[in-house]
Amino acid sequence: MRHNLAIIGFGGMGSFHYKKLLKGQEIVCTGVWDIREERREYAESFGLHAYESLEDLLADESIEIVLIATPNDCHHPIALQALAAGKHVICEKPVTLNTQLLTEMLEAAEQAGKLLTVHQNRRWDRGYRIVHQVMAEGKLGEIYRIESRVHGAHGIPGDWRQDPKQGGGMVYDWGIHLLDQAVMLFPEAKIRSVYATLNHVTNEQTDDGFFVDLLFDNGIHYIVEVGTSHFITLPRWMVMGRDGTMLLDNWGLEGKIVCAHGEDDKDVVPVVTAAGLTKTMAPRREDTIQTLDIPDIWPDIGEYYRNITAVLEGRESPIVTPPQMLRVMRLIQAVFASARTGECIPFEIEIGNE
């Protein structure tokens, strides 16, 4: 069944939804509202209807769903207005800036009896799915540490992302994706503590990178790191288990899985350097390890809008749920609290009080 959608904020991501993500879907974009005339004209160049105002769009009864793809601070007020007008709402990430605003949005959706969800599209990232599958297959044995990184070298973009009032900064921009992936990899585990630092390499007002160490109650340390001044990048993913390690490098996800194989080599040949020798850090003998292929996984992002269609038709429940949205938003707040205080923040389990 066809469902009409209008896009509010037809910038980089709003237009990507129209050009790529909605292609072949039963949800059809018919119009847009953007505060900038040039973006409205751009939308018209595709044959889309450009509304004269947000109110004009919301008054159109043919529109069932709105996608909000404006800067982050506008998601909350626009979502409340759209829900009050009887529209289902999909927000770009981050859904909003804190749990108080999110709670207001969720309550408004509940009252209106409408869907409110967020576009957590990085759940369809290949690397994330590969990590999920390799862990599920137990190839690496018991996992003790995961490192998830995104490194660039362009600095923070020069638009609203540099403005804290507009919800700029890399914690909101990339943190929301990578922390969502972290909690989705361990949906049953509680987080014991959050320690974070923010970077201000390129400017003082907005974080242009950050480091987070999540400690799960299963003992796993999960590192999330984003940097925008990394001229040499570290791997996108490192997953460490007692029996093996997986590395996935960069966006192409070239990588390898190396696992223990056969008997450990007790008679290690030491590495000798001018300053000393080490047996502990000597490489393992080739016959005591094996290298496995990275699974060939190609996730289909089309599932996101197919799920929304099925939700509207009462056939499925949403993939991205309100409790998940709230949990990640609380985590974002804990990241800011830890960075502000320099402390490790107890999260879902009080430290020393179990």
Which residues bind to ligand NAD, rule: CB under 6 A? Answer: 8-14, 33-36, 39, 69-72, 74, 92-93, 119, 121, 159-160, 173
Q: In whole angstroms, how close is the CB of 6 to ligand NAD at the nearest point?
A: 11
Which of 6/257 has CB closer to ligand NAD?
Answer: 6
Q: In whole angstroms, how close is the CB of 118 to ligand NAD at the nearest point?
A: 9
Which of 71/302 has CB closer to ligand NAD?
Answer: 71
Q: In whole angstroms, how close is the CB of 242 to ligand NAD at the nearest point?
A: 34
Q: In whole angstroms, how close is the CB of 259 to ligand NAD at the nearest point?
A: 33
Long-range contact set of residues 192-195: C-beta below 8 Å, sequence gap at least 24: 192/216, 192/217, 192/346, 192/347, 192/348, 192/349, 192/351, 193/344, 193/345, 193/346, 193/347, 193/351, 194/331, 194/334, 194/335, 194/337, 194/338, 194/344, 194/345, 194/347, 195/338, 195/343, 195/344, 195/345
Query: What's at 284, amino acid-wise?
Result: R
Q: In whole angstroms, how close is the CB of 78 to ligand NAD at the nearest point?
A: 6
Question: For the chain, what is the radius of gyration of the CA atoms?
Answer: 23
Handedness of CA 159, 235, 21, 98 (dihedral sign): negative
Which of 158/323 has CB closer to ligand NAD?
Answer: 158
The secondary structure element, H or E, covering residue 326 is: helix 322-341
User: Which residue's Cβ has the minimum distance to ligand NAD?
Assistant: 11
Which of 93/327 has CB closer to ligand NAD?
Answer: 93
Question: b or e along 299-310 (b: 16 or more beta carbons within 10 Å of the residue's beta carbon)?
Answer: eeeeebbbbbbb
Which of 170/191 has CB closer to ligand NAD?
Answer: 170
Which of 79/196 has CB closer to ligand NAD?
Answer: 79
DSSP type of residue 270:
P
Distance between CA atoms of residues 46 and 245, nearest Å: 48
Quick one: tokens of 232? 């040499």
Q: In whole angstroms, how close is the CB of 256 to ligand NAD at the nearest point?
A: 27
